[in-house]
Amino acid sequence: MLSFCTFVLFFLSLSGLLHAKSSHGDSVLVVVEEVHKKDYSIFFDGLKEQGYELTFRAPKDEKPVVSEHDVPSFAHIIILASESKNFAKDITPQSLVELLSGGTNLILALSTKQTALSSLAAEFSLILPPPSTPLVSFFPERKDPPTVIPISAPASSLILSPKLAPVWFSGAAHALGNNPFLVPILRAPTESFAADTDSGADALVDATEKGGEGFWAGSQLSVATGFQALGGARVTWVGGVDLFSDKFAKKEVSKGVKSGNTQFARDVAAWTFQESLVLRIDSTTHHLVNTTTPPEQYTTNDNIVYSAHISRFNPSKSTWEPYSGIKDMQLEFTMLDPHIRTALLPVPGSPGKYSVTFRAPDRHGVFKFVIDYKRKGWTHLHSSTTVALVPPRHDGYPRFLSAAWPYYAGAISTSVGFFLFSAAWLAGESREKKAKAKAQ
């Protein structure tokens, strides 16, 4: 009986791992040509095993609609129709931006050709090379064409799995602008470059002489880049649909070693669909030291305690769990500009709780407790609470100030001196009157 119960618990735990859920929803719209759907069966089957509900639609089909009455119909959208120049009316660069603003997560595959997605990429500070200039690399030496490149994953990455096998790539790379919301996922190899391979060696030499205008090379290029909006929605740009294909998933990078494309696609989907690196602020509290309830207003120089409770989404259990792993979060007490900026550190023994005690500045006005935590790959955390800071009441000031003792001593000594002078003056006048009376 015990062994049977153990088997049941093991099965349930295993099924929970296999059916990891998104914190945002499980409905996925896949825009792909019907004839190419079978080319990505490994990727699609993996998403279904994770518990996602996939709905397929051709690029020019009008149903199912991506949104209805300005409400997104799907939690996530994948567009693998990179070669399509025309899409249905509800799939435009503007509509995709609106979907992202509404919380829909996107995976978008680019092409070496000029498409509608190419113009949209510029809005996200992605700089694409000229059309028909795929990423090319002649190293390492291999039998494959120079446009089919094995790319090693970064040694340390928050998004990708550790010790990920090299990933096969074929398509267009892109350079990254200065947008702080961009999240590099996979860089191009150092020895690679973007150029038209049909133009010959002379064209490559001319491109190098033009510098940045005509020659795109090295790790300044990226083949997979994420973008996280302020609202929490995520979009991932991939330089080519072949990254998700069965052909590259089954292709070996060396004898007996399969590529990391399958796991790479799973990691990218997990991050984009808000399974991994997802945080939220559950609640915030503030009060005076030695109290538990927030006052209607604070007084200058009060000792204030501010606390925040933060949790992280666990996809294997589909639950939010307290998270105390943030070590570099700050709290700002601001009125136009921060008057106080201090570290908001986790409280030992209280999972998910972060707290700090500070003294209010000696300036009254309307202040805000502000948390603005932004780290690449992680969910942006933002919280703002408005409070009033007032000067003390007329009876709230201390009767005596230690710093004013010199003034107290001066006033007391002046009063005592005046009293002694008055007494001496009066006593002298009385003696003169007595002396005059005796003389008469």
DSSP secondary structure letter of residue 88 = -
SS3 121: helix
Query: Pairing state of beta strands 182-187 and 174-176?
Result: unpaired
pLDDT band at 219 (very low <50, low <70, confident <90, very high): confident
What's the CA gap between 321 and 323, in Å, rounded?
Answer: 6
Mean pLDDT, residues 92-101 taken together: 94
Question: Tell me: the pLDDT tens digits for 34-51?
Answer: 999 999 999 999 999 999
Q: Does residue 116 carry a pLDDT above 80?
A: yes
Residue 126's φ and ψ, nearest 5 degrees, are -95, 130
Helix or strand (DSSP H, E) at 49: helix 41-49
Q: Does residue 97 carry a pLDDT above 50?
A: yes
Take residue 9 and report the two structure tokens written for it. 């618990």
Distant-in-sequence, close-in-space partners of 337: CB < 8 Å, separation ≥ 6: none
Q: Does residue 349 carry a pLDDT above 70?
A: yes
Question: Tell me: the pLDDT tens digits for 382-414?
Answer: 999 999 999 998 887 777 888 888 998 999 999
Please give the share of the chain, as a percent, with pLDDT higher than 90: 72
Q: With 0-12 CB in 10 A as exposed, 13-18 as middle and 19+ as buried, what is 51?
A: middle
Question: CA-based Rg of the chain, rounded to a whole angstrom?
Answer: 35
Cis omega (within 30 of 0) for bond into 64: yes
Greatest mean pLDDT range, 10-24, 121-135, 286-300? 286-300
Question: Tell me: the pLDDT tens digits for 148-202?
Answer: 999 999 988 999 999 999 999 999 999 999 999 999 999 999 999 887 766 555 6
Tokens 């003294």 correspond to 359
Mean pLDDT score of the chain: 89
Q: Which residue has the higher pLDDT, 432 or 409?
A: 409
Q: How many CB atoms lie within 10 A of CB 358?
A: 15
Burial profile 249-274: b = 16 or more Cβ within 10 angstroms, e = fewer:
bebebeeeeebbbbbbbbbbbbbbbb
Instruction: Say what the pLDDT of residue 213 is.
Output: 45
DSSP secondary structure letter of residue 365 = E
Q: How many CB atoms lie within 10 A of CB 118?
A: 20
Mean pLDDT, residues 221-235 taken together: 95
Take residue 69 and report the two structure tokens written for it. 């009455």
Residue 216's φ and ψ, nearest 5 degrees, are -115, 120
Mean pLDDT, residues 429-439 taken together: 68
Instruction: Say what the pLDDT of residue 396 is.
Output: 79
- For 56, 75, 86, 117, 211, the CA distances from 89, given in Å and listed in that order, are 17, 19, 9, 14, 39
For the chain, the maximum distance between any two Cα atoms, rounded to a whole number of angstroms, is 142
Nearest to 143 by CA among 239, 253, 243: 253
Please give the share of the chain, as a percent, with pLDDT higher than 70: 88
Helices (H), 124-245: 201-210
Tokens 């407790």 correspond to 369
Instruction: Say what the pLDDT of residue 275 is.
Output: 96
Q: With 0-12 CB in 10 A as exposed, 13-18 as middle and 19+ as buried, what is 178?
A: exposed
What's the CA gap between 243 and 251, in Å, rounded?
Answer: 11
Residue 235's φ and ψ, nearest 5 degrees, are -135, 140
Instruction: Say what the pLDDT of residue 21 is.
Output: 77
pLDDT band at 209 (very low <50, low <70, confident <90, very high): low
Instruction: Say what the pLDDT of residue 215 is.
Output: 55
Instruction: Say what the pLDDT of residue 19 is.
Output: 55
SS3 182: strand
